[in-house]
Copies of this chain bind each other. A is one copy, B any other.
Amino acid sequence: MKDSEPSGSAPFSAETYFATQPPPPSLDHDMATVRSFVRKQTERGMKVVLVTSGGTTVPLERNMVRFLDNFSAGTRGATSAEYFIKAGYSVIFMHRQFSLQPFSRHYSHSTNPFLDLLEIEHTNTNPSSPLTAVPNITVTPSKREDLLEVLAMYKKVHHDETMLTLNFATVNDYLWMLRAISHELSLLGRSVMYYLAAAVSDFFLPSQKMSEHKIQSGKGSLHIEMDQVPKILKSIVDEWSREGFIVSFKLETDPALLLPKCRQALERYGHQVVIGNDLHRRKFEVVFVSRNGPNVTEKASNTSNNNFGAGESHLSEYWLRLGTSDASASSLQHPREIEEDIVRELERRHQLWIDAAS
């Protein structure tokens, strides 16, 4: 990596970040709900997964008009959360406000608007029973079965209280929330998994550098200079939630960079799995990068920053691909989703992790 020119201020460490940037107003309230949720799951002996999903924003002004965003509809996170529920986990779904959520994801207003599923049934008006004059709303018969499946699962999750939903918008919200949630989840020891699928900003504008009001466009070209966001994954692994099973994601656009970046992240942070995906292939192909051998269920002792080349025997690469066999096996109505396979494989590895401690 090339050395960068200093921007005029030292890079932010995690410690400096939290000492200088203000927490979101809703933090205490959110953490009270997390605390209560975690307590219930502990009483029930449930495994818990924190799923983060969607992109974080970097506002350019304090009265926000413009912001830098990371591209992420939230498909990976929202879809995976459903499969975690099916696998018996309780889920904390921490997502970008307005991004895809479990269950409602099947009915995006743009691609499958729910209003198209409904019909107005004009019942025969009976003068002696004025109440029957009110039209009834029914679900189109051909859509009923699929909707029933989604609705039944949605109702069950609400009834059983097996999912807690939180939202964030800015990278600042995200970092504060992740830090606080990690502290709460550390009570669960090895029974907690972190599924960090959110697309987190690498760069941000410290509030002290932010413009108060809307940047005026009369002033020629726009120059934005941003600082690097501190890598808090290290803090989660080393300090905040040492026993958790931690899975992070790497998204790359250049295929040549995918594996090197995954290995680099795993070596740098010392967590359990990096799931790598190429922007253009992510719906049907991912790679799990993790450590090999008998130590796979123990924390890495080596967290040095060496960049190991391909074929280093202490790292393994496990490719998941939706293949043609999947395509023919699935019905056209229910195409297979790679998240089903991702979650199954992680559930297996997490159980090994849990068992290794007992």
Listed in ascending order, the chain A residues whose CB lies under 8 Å from chain B are 1-7, 11, 57, 60-61, 63-71, 73, 97-98, 101, 103-104, 107-110, 113-115, 118, 120, 134-135, 137-139, 144, 147-148, 150-152, 154-155, 167, 199, 201-203, 213-214, 216-228, 251-254, 257, 279-280
Contact = CB atoms under 8 A, between A and B. Distances in A.
A253 B60 CA distance: 13
5 nearest CB pairs, A to B:
A4-B220, A202-B217, A7-B221, A63-B253, A104-B109
Contacts of A110: 97-98, 101, 167
A188 B320 CA distance: 55
A120 B151 contact: yes
Nearest to A152: B120
B251 A65 contact: yes
Contacts of A221: 4, 6-7, 203, 225-228
A253 B2 CA distance: 40
A144 B150 contact: no
Contact of A220 (B5, B61, B201): B5
Contacts of A151: 115, 118, 120, 137
A134 to B, nearest CB: 8
A98 B55 CA distance: 15
Highest count of chain B CB atoms <10 Å: which of A5, A199, A214: A214
B101 A109 contact: yes
A250 to B, nearest CB: 10
A279 B144 CA distance: 42
Nearest to A217: B202
Contacts of A98: 73, 108-110
Contacts of A217: 202-203, 228
Contacts of A202: 217, 222
A66 B69 contact: yes
A228 B223 contact: no
B220 A6 contact: yes
A253 B65 contact: yes
9 contacts: A67-B69, A98-B109, A103-B115, A115-B154, A137-B144, A213-B257, A221-B225, A222-B224, A223-B226
Nearest to A4: B220
Given A98-B110, A148-B137, A7 B69 contact: no
Contacts of A114: 104, 107, 114
Contact of A1 (B167, B214, B219, B224): B219
A94 to B, nearest CB: 14
Given A115-B154, A253-B61, A218 B1 contact: yes
A213 B256 CA distance: 11
Contact of A224 (B101, B113, B223, B279): B223
A143 to B, nearest CB: 10
A155 B66 contact: no
B228 A225 contact: no
Contacts of A224: 222-226
A53 to B, nearest CB: 13
